[in-house]
Structure 1
Amino acid sequence: MPELPEVEVTRQSFAAHIAGAHITAVRLGKPLRWPLGCAPEQLLGQQVLGVRRRGKYLLLDLSGGLLLLHLGMSGRLRFAPALPPPGGHDHFDLDTDQGLLRLHDPRRFGAVVFTASEQSPVARKLLGGLGLEPLNADFTMAALQAGLARHRAPIKQVLLAGKVVVGVGNIYASEVLFLAGIRPTTAAAVLGPVRVRRLQQAIGAVLTRAVERGGTTLRDFASADGNAGHFQTETKVYGRAGQPCVQCGAPIQNLVQGQRSSFYCPRCQRP
């Protein structure tokens, strides 16, 4: 599923092109996870002021409200001056005088929700429980340590939950923990300051690199301008079970945590 790097890459690929545009038409396809929250006609004539990101949500600031978009498990956005007629998996079109924004989502776990502001009950329900933004200045070692200290669960699962820090999906969690030298089964609360510092730096480094590489494309992810990601070509442990560690040569191990595969080096990553 698209994680923080893919969502940020998507944002960067169309934000400048849609900023300042006026909405001229709205088309809804099959129902998504949640209803739009307003009559489509309410969006007509509104101006797109900008595009932000919070966790894996894209926030389109409008002149008369806020549009929250989530890509779900398999969704992706496309923005272009013109696009072909919508297909069976195209469930939301936002037509503007600067181009057409389309949500393509075969599994329909994505969402497009309109709300009056980021302080409205709907927005607070969707965004209020999200953890620290790992690419922001607020993502400090002290803030991360305070969050981890409340959790006895394995660090890999704590990262995936998104309550302490957002956007560290399954691929990125394995890569982050390898870079930090931490075994995925280690309880989050037992990590001391030295290892928390390494973890904080690894999260920032891995996610920043993933954004630079256009995200990860394992199946069909592409940015809003149609470009695939390339981070998958340089993973150190993810998907490399049985292959030698790039640092020590030991075979990479794979274990299942919460129905998700965790890849790690038994020598380089300490419990």
Structure 2
Amino acid sequence: MPELPEVETVCRGIRPHLQGRVFTGVTVRQPQLRWPVPDDLAQRLAGQRVLAVSRRAKYVLISLAEGCLMVHLGMSGRLFFVAAGTAVGKHDHVDFALDNGQLLRYTDPRRFGAVLWLEGEAEAHPLLGHLGPEPLSADFNVAYLLARAKGRSVPVKSLLMDGRVVVGVGNIYANEALYMAGIRPDRAAGKISRQRYARLVDCVKQVLTSAIAQGGTTLKDFVGGDGRPGYFKQELLVYGRAGLPCPACGSALREIRQAQRSTVFCARCQR
């Protein structure tokens, strides 16, 4: 599933080619995605100029003078540009026509993504209103994380992946940040010191920043808005490396399951 760095990569890839352009039409071939594509989407978008392209959590937000187009990539979704008249693939569900003759195409083999219309402030939407701060913002700091962890018995990895606590720290990056911080992923969140949480906050920011710089992580089929894969996979320290030597101490990395997700860690380096 595309996580925060992958969605940020998509935003950065499409922003220079989309911002300032005018929508001239919409073709919806498959309206049944995770939620139905609005029936009146074409009427709402027609003639509107794109003012900004941004990201909130794992949602792409395309802001217009009247309303906002919100896209979620789900498990396998992509947003990319093609020339008008380009052949349509089996999973190419929505085309957004632009005033320069190009199409912004949304494709999604698994149909777990979404194309939605927002009115008013985006933060007030039910899908966004309950979310925690962005992990790369100043609001995500040691005082905040310590307060959210206080008295909690949930594993620290679960806390880190809770979108109500902080958005966008998906499974890959939670594994990596906890390893870098030297914290066992199954340790109770309320039993970790302020000093160690300070280190974890820094590591979350570091791993996400590095992943964005590398264009995200391609484990299977992710590509950015420019069609290129993400290269952060080459820098992964523990995720997907169960049984291999720990980069720091050489011990075999262990794998456990947490909330049906793979967790890889070093029992010697992480405590």
TM range (shorter): over 0.9
Query: RMSD over aligned Cα, in angstroms?
Result: 1.5
- State the Cα deviation string for residues 95-120 of structure 1 (Å, max 9, x = none): 11143211110010100111212258
Aligned residues: 268
Distance 1:119 1:230, change over 3 A: closer
Q: Aligned residue for 2:221?
A: 220
Measure how far apart 1:83 and its partner are.
6.7
Measure how far apart 1:154 and its partner are.
0.5
Deviates more, 1:155-164 or 1:15-24: 155-164
SS at match of 1:125: coil
SS at match of 1:126: coil
Contact 2:95 2:104 in 1 (8 A): yes
Are positions 1:171 and 2:183 aligned together?
no
Q: Aligned residue for 1:62?
A: 64
Q: Aligned residue for 1:7?
A: 7
Looking at structure 2, the residues matched to 65 and 56 of structure 1 have their Cα atoms a distance apart, in angstroms, of 19
Contact 1:80 1:225 in 2 (8 A): no
1:125-204 map, 5 Å = 125-149=126-150, 151-204=152-205
Q: Aligned residue for 2:121?
A: 118
Contact 1:72 1:111 in 2 (8 A): yes
- State the Cα deviation string for residues 13-58 of structure 1 (Å, max 9, x = none): 0112111110011011211111233512221101110111100011
Q: Aligned residue for 2:33?
A: 32
Q: Read off the aligned partner of 1:27 and give its amino acid letter.
A: T
Measure how far apart 1:158 and its partner are.
1.9
Distance 1:91 1:124, change over 3 A: same
Measure how far apart 1:229 and its partner are.
0.4
Q: Aligned residue for 1:104?
A: 107
Q: Read off the aligned partner of 1:25 and give its amino acid letter.
A: G
- State the Cα deviation string for residues 232-265 of structure 1 (Å, max 9, x = none): 1111111111111111111101011111110000
Measure how far apart 1:137 and its partner are.
2.2
Identity %: 50
Q: Aligned residue for 1:268?
A: 269
Gaps of at least 5 residues in structure 2 are: none
Looking at structure 2, the residues matched to 28 and 164 of structure 1 have their Cα atoms a distance apart, in angstroms, of 35
> What is the TM-score of this pair, normalised by structure 1?
0.94
Looking at structure 2, the residues matched to 114 and 228 of structure 1 have their Cα atoms a distance apart, in angstroms, of 28
- State the Cα deviation string for residues 148-191 of structure 1 (Å, max 9, x = none): 22632111122222221111111111101000100010111222
Q: Aligned residue for 1:75?
A: 77
Q: Read off the aligned partner of 1:50 and give its amino acid letter.
A: A
Looking at structure 2, the residues matched to 58 and 119 of structure 1 have their Cα atoms a distance apart, in angstroms, of 11
- State the Cα deviation string for residues 58-108 of structure 1 (Å, max 9, x = none): 111012111111001111111245472222211111111143211110010
Looking at structure 1, the residues matched to 207 and 11 of structure 2 have their Cα atoms a distance apart, in angstroms, of 18
Looking at structure 2, the residues matched to 151 and 79 of structure 1 have their Cα atoms a distance apart, in angstroms, of 45
Contact 1:90 1:105 in 2 (8 A): yes
Deviates more, 1:152-161 or 1:48-57: 152-161
Measure how far apart 1:135 and its partner are.
1.2
Q: Aligned residue for 1:48?
A: 50
